[in-house]
Amino acid sequence: MKTLPGGSPLKPTLDRLYADYNHADSATDPIQIVRRYSRPDDREVVAFCAASLAFGRVASVLQSIERLMTVFAHRGDRPADFVRRFDPRRDAPAFKGLVHRWIRERDLVALVWILKQMLDRSATLEDFFLEGYDPAAGDVATALDSFSERAMALDLTAAYGRPTHSGQAPSTRSGQARGVAYFFPRPSKGSACKRLNLFLRWMVRRDALDLGVWTRVSPSKLIVPLDTHVIRVGRCLQLTRYTSPGWAMARDITASLQRIDPADPIRYDFSICHLGMMNACGFSRAQGDAQCPLRGVCRPGARKRRRSRQPSARR
């Protein structure tokens, strides 16, 4: 059991917090959109798109996902069928005006085109992921690297235009292809891969929140989806000494959680994240600590900080 200075055990507190949030409607979250679909292949597709767009304000994220689901419903009720039959030249007009922050309609066309090629090649997104997954590896770092590298090696011509003599779409050099690359970061480049790790959490874990669609990846290999809320709570709970967000910090927080639950370390992610979103656990000292669910185990600044050796990366 992980114990903080002063002998205060963290596990009972996190277990209680997990139980409080382990309900399908415990907090507004993109996974609730994924849950509308019952078929595994639909959940895979919708979950990947929803996780890919999970950056920015929650209301904006949900709005963008809903608009994309409307596009998917353009040719029927099955998102997976829409992706399998997707033709960028024919279907791109349905994406007109669909933007999310710096992601433009062409980037979303490219994302769906990549997903179609994954399904054509491997039948399911799980099978495509498993091509680079080693069950003996300590975590999913190498598998994510392989997944993103193979995804970005797929043909983007139909989405971004004809390739040049160098094999890249002309739009790549002007920055127009950068959007779809944002969906496929790599741990080896220092990225925390927040959205990919969020997708894996939804697919691999099974409880009242997470869907457990995948069966061949162990929950013990997952890495926490690192965002600003997890960072704040993680720092206050002394789960990491890193100051720079990136893969090193995500792995460090996960390692701390593994000492609490080796088989399923990131089951605490949802509750930690949403607690941070509430600005709780002593972040607002003006409001006092009496209502903080982590009162008594939160020790901000108690551990010596260590700066990550890996460069900061866009999350």
d(C-alpha 72, C-alpha 95), whole Å: 10
- Quick one: three-class SS letters along 232-288? HHHHHCCCCCCCCCCHHHHHHHHHHHHCCCCCCHHHHHHHHHHHHHCCCCCCCHHHC
pLDDT of residue 290: 62
Give the residues across from 100 on adjacent strands.
103
149-169 confidence digits (pLDDT tens):
999 999 999 998 865 444 454
**What are the contacts of 131-137 at 24+ separation with CB within 8 A?**
133/216, 133/217, 135/218, 135/221, 137/221
CB atoms within 10 A of CB 49: 27
Name the phi and psi angles at 201, rounded to 5. -60, -45
d(C-alpha 146, C-alpha 20), whole Å: 36
Name the phi and psi angles at 130, rounded to 5. -65, -20
Structure tokens at 187: 């741990």
d(C-alpha 262, C-alpha 304), whole Å: 25
pLDDT of residue 5: 40
256-283 confidence digits (pLDDT tens):
999 999 999 999 999 999 888 876 444 4
Do residues 186 and 144 lie in contact, with contact meaning Cβ atoms separated by under 8 Å?
yes
Residues of the chain with pLDDT under 70: 1-8, 162-178, 279-291, 296, 299-315
Q: Where do the structural domains in the chain lie, given as residue ranges?
A: 3-287
Angle (CA) 26-29-30 rounded to 5° is: 145
pLDDT of residue 308: 44
Do residues 113 and 85 lie in contact, with contact meaning Cβ atoms separated by under 8 Å?
no
Do residues 255 and 222 lie in contact, with contact meaning Cβ atoms separated by under 8 Å?
no
Nearest to 275 by CA among 47, 66, 13: 13
How long is the chain?
Answer: 315
Do residues 224 and 255 lie in contact, with contact meaning Cβ atoms separated by under 8 Å?
no
pLDDT of residue 275: 86
Q: How far is CA 79 from the centre of its chain?
A: 20
pLDDT of residue 277: 83
pLDDT of residue 279: 63
